Amino acid sequence: MADHYDVIVIGGGPAGYHAAIRAAQLGLKTACVDASVGKDGKAALGGTCLNVGCIPSKALLDSSRQFHNLLHSFADHGIRVASPAIDVKAMVGRKDKIVKQFTAGVALLFKANKIASYFGKGRLLAGRQVEITAPDGTRQTIAAANVILATGSVPVELPFAKFDGKFIVDNAGALDFDAVPKRLGVIGAGVIGLELGSVWRRLGAEVTILEALPDFLATADRDVARLAAREFAKQGLDIRLGAKVSKAEVKGNTVEVSYGDAKGEQKIVVDRLLVAVGRRAYSEGLLGENTGVRLDERGRIAVDEHCWTGVEGVWAIGDCVRGAMLAHKGFEEGIAVAELIAGRAGHVNYDTIPWVIYTEPEIAWAGKTEEELKAAGVPYKTGSFPFAAIGRAVAMNETAGQVKIIAHAETDRILGVHMVGPGVSELIAEAVVAMEFHGAAEDLARIVHAHPTLSEAVHEAALAVDKRAIHKAN
Ligand code: NAD
């Protein structure tokens, strides 16, 4: 007889491991099935986020930022260093160590929570059975009262620029270059293109980013996009908009990329090409016969607002379902579903999910943009405040950017907060708390913010909504 659980989670990425841990905390007998293999060839829990996404990219962003500061801003502080050099192998090695620490950490958390961990590819069969195929091909079947599908997403591949793992790479490949490419081409000026483009630019690569859309950061607030574009241009990131790539061909040790824009047909020659044009839900081989689970029009597992697939006891969460492909969205869906299974009130507020792009300056937002409010006919007012007038930012030598708060014109309720600047990945949390509690701009304006801190930009922007910022003319 097959091993039987209260909950089986298929996928041990951010969404899946949160679901498994919360289910176990709630006293449910839980198993997690995951097929990921680390660089050492062993099982590596944590999915894209820990293995080739959030954490390793932040490790490289931090290394490259330090190197860039050493070259470009240490002298402003009166610090002189003779001939700094970057050791890419050491930098990537440090990143790999951090990845190992965190993937092993999830395995330890599973042990501590008595979660049964199965290494292999899971397939949902009818009747909430899960068939597991181990890397050596052996198969076993387990069963549960509830199955949570959390299989994540994979990079979109362009038919005319197929990944070869060396010259034309996805995000994982661009985390593992063995040297700084002299010329790096990037297709897609989205989150990955900007973050990984920044890493290699700071280390000296000439980076050209080809973006199909005519607008930069089309989903962000226009002020944010404008400010960020200006800073990226200063850093030498060559972002070309309205660029439709038609071909990428490896020739010798280079890649020739052909694209069309308003000026006609163009070509660039680069040493490495990163394709970062989005990700798609991953569900290959996941669904057996007659499970009743459906895919939506974009190949994602169809679910309702509670992540329920419509099949008794079968749920789906994270990147493989509708909504933002963000680790923290997956975390919260995992927790919510575990709580619903345990008979509690699990819930995710999709309206206040923060977005963060870890460039320099950082970009972060939550809630609606001005454009969205305009389109919806919602009356609003705005207040903004530049980091250039914040003492702490000036002391840090990081003055680019601003905080902008959008509030309802009549009720003053905060509808959106949009930031570009130093440390805004952390500052956005205050905005999210305020919005979660249905706060007004005046609430933020009345809160005491420590001086001197970057958070004063949030305070001043809230004051500016009512045209009473202290350190700028209103
Ligand atoms: P993205 O959707 O952020 O950006 C893709 C970009 O590529 C878009 O601007 C799109 O217009 C452009 N594009 C699409 N097809 C193109 C083409 N043929 N030629 C030129 N440009 C084209 O996707 P991404 O950067 O690949 O990231 C994938 C997912 O991973 C996203 O959903 C993102 O949210 C997530 N992610 C998040 C973070 C973070 O939160 N900091 C970091 C990395 C990835």
Q: Is the pLDDT of residue 470 over 90?
A: yes
Cα of 276 to ligand 1 centre, how many Å? 6
| pLDDT tens-digit readout, 68-114 | 999 999 999 999 999 999 999 999 999 999 999 999 999 999 999 99
- Domains of the chain, CATH where assigned: 3-155+280-348 (3.50.50.60), 168-277 (3.50.50.60), 352-465 (3.30.390.30)
Q: How far apart are CA 120 and CA 104, in angstroms?
A: 17
Sign of torsion, CA 161 166 171 172? positive
Q: For a substitution probing ligand 1, which of 191, 300, 359 has the most ligand atoms within 8 Å of its CB?
A: 191
pLDDT for res 2: 80
Strands 139-149 and 314-316: parallel
pLDDT for res 346: 95
| pLDDT tens-digit readout, 375-424 | 999 999 999 999 999 999 999 999 999 999 999 999 999 999 999 999 99
Ligand 1 atom nearest 192 alpha carbon: 25
Query: Active site includes 4?
Result: no
Please, what is the average pLDDT of the chain?
97
Q: How far apart are CA 159 and CA 161, in angstroms?
A: 6
pLDDT for res 467: 97
pTM of the model: 0.97
Cα of 156 to ligand 1 centre, how many Å? 9
| pLDDT tens-digit readout, 316-350 | 999 999 999 999 999 999 999 999 999 999 999 99
Confidence at 431, pLDDT banded by 50, 70, 90: very high
Q: For a substitution probing ligand 1, which of 162, 192, 217 has the most ligand atoms within 8 Å of its CB?
A: 192
Do the beta carbons of residue 272 and residue 203 sit within 8 Å?
no
Q: Is the pLDDT of residue 1 over 80?
A: no
| pLDDT tens-digit readout, 168-199 | 999 999 999 999 999 999 999 999 999 999 99
pLDDT for res 263: 93
Distance from CA of residue 206 to its chain's centroid?
24
The residue-averaged pLDDT of 256-276 equals 97
Which position among 72, 347, 438, 451 bears the catalytic label?
451
| pLDDT tens-digit readout, 278-298 | 999 999 999 999 999 999 999
Distance from CA of residue 79 to its chain's centroid?
34
The residue-averaged pLDDT of 453-464 equals 98
Cα of 15 to ligand 1 centre, how many Å? 20
Cα of 190 to ligand 1 centre, how many Å? 4
The residue-averaged pLDDT of 363-385 equals 98
- Name which residue sits closest to atom 8 of ligand 1, judged by CA: 190
Q: For a substitution probing ligand 1, which of 279, 353, 356 has the most ligand atoms within 8 Å of its CB?
A: 279
Show Cβ contacts of residue 243 under 8 Å, excluding neighbours closer than 6 positions. Answer: 210, 211, 212, 259, 260, 261, 266
- Strand partners for 315: 148, 308
